[in-house]
Structure 1
Amino acid sequence: MDIRQLKYFVTLAEIGNFTAAAKQLNIAQPALSIAIKKLEASLELDLFHRNERKITLTHEGEVLLPHARLVLQQLNDAEIAMAELRGLEKGEVRLGVPSMLGSYFFPEILMGFKSQYPNLKLTMVEGGAQSIRKMLIDGELDLGVIINHNVPEALATEHLLTSQMVAVVGEDHPFAPQASIDFKTFFAQELVMFKKGYFHREFIDRVCDSQQLQPRISFETNLLPMILNIVRRDFAISALLEMVTEHEHGVLPIPFEEPVYLDIAIAWRKQGYLSLADRAFKEYVKKCCG
Structure 2
Amino acid sequence: MSLFKYEIFHKVAEIGSFTKAGELLGLTQSAVSHAISSLEKEFGFEMIHRSKNGLKLTTDGQIMLSAIRKVLQAQELLKQEAANINGVTKGVLRIGTFTSISTKWLPTIIQKMEQQFPGVQIKIKEGDYYEIEKMLLDGVIDCGFLNRPSSNHFQFTPIYSDRLLCIVSNKSHLYKKDLVDIKDVELEPFIMTSYNGTNDVKYILDMYNVKTNIRFELHDESAIVSMVEHGLGITILPELILSKLPMNVRAIPLAQNCYRTIGIATKQSISPATEKFINLLTDWLSKHNNNE
Per the TM superposition, whether the score is higher than 0.5 is yes
Please report how far the alpha carbon of residue 4 of structure 1 lies from its aligned counterpart in structure 2 after TM superposition: 1.8
Over 3 Å counting, the alpha-carbon distance change for 1:107 and 1:20 in structure 2 is closer
Distance 2:88 2:49 in 1: 43
Distance 2:125 2:7 in 1: 24
Over 3 Å counting, the alpha-carbon distance change for 1:25 and 1:97 in structure 2 is closer
Distance 1:165 1:81 in 2: 40
TM-score when normalising by structure 1: 0.77
Aligned twin of 1:32? 32
**How many residues were matched structurally?**
283
Over 3 Å counting, the alpha-carbon distance change for 1:97 and 1:55 in structure 2 is closer
Maintained 8 Å contact 1:130/1:197: yes
Secondary structure at the counterpart of residue 51 of structure 2: coil
> What amino acid is the match of 1:156?
Q
**Runs of 5+ consecutive residues of structure 1 not aligned to the other structure:** none
After superposition, residues 1-150 of structure 1 pair within 5 angstroms as 1-90=1-90, 95-103=95-103, 106=105, 110=109, 113=112, 117=116, 127-150=127-150
Over 3 Å counting, the alpha-carbon distance change for 1:107 and 1:8 in structure 2 is closer
* Deviation digits for residues 150-205 of structure 1 (CA, Å, limit 9, x no counterpart): 2x33321212133332322124521224543345x525643334442376xx1234
Q: Please, which of 266, 271, 277 is the counterpart of residue 273 of structure 1?
A: 271
Distance 1:277 1:90 in 2: 10
**Runs of 5+ consecutive residues of structure 2 not aligned to the other structure:** none
> What amino acid is the match of 1:14?
E
| Larger CA deviation: 46-55 vs 210-219 | 210-219
Q: Please, which of 215, 219, 225 is the counterpart of residue 228 of structure 1?
A: 225
Secondary structure at the counterpart of residue 157 of structure 2: strand
* Deviation digits for residues 86-115 of structure 1 (CA, Å, limit 9, x no counterpart): 2222287654444345555x3796499579
Residue 173 of structure 2 corresponds to residue 174 of structure 1: yes
After superposition, residues 174-253 of structure 1 pair within 5 angstroms as 174-178=173-177, 179-183=179-183, 186=185, 189-197=188-196, 202-206=199-203, 211=209, 213=211, 215-218=213-216, 220-222=218-220, 224-242=221-239, 248=245, 250-253=249-252
TM-score when normalising by structure 2: 0.76
Distance 2:108 2:4 in 1: 39
Q: Please, which of 255, 259, 262 is the counterpart of residue 261 of structure 1?
A: 259
Maintained 8 Å contact 2:129/2:195: no
Distance 1:16 1:246 in 2: 36
Distance 1:182 1:123 in 2: 39
Maintained 8 Å contact 2:89/2:272: no
Maintained 8 Å contact 2:186/2:212: yes
Distance 1:9 1:111 in 2: 29
Maintained 8 Å contact 1:93/1:277: no
> What amino acid is the match of 1:154?
H
Distance 1:182 1:86 in 2: 55
> What amino acid is the match of 1:253?
I
Identity of aligned residues (%): 20
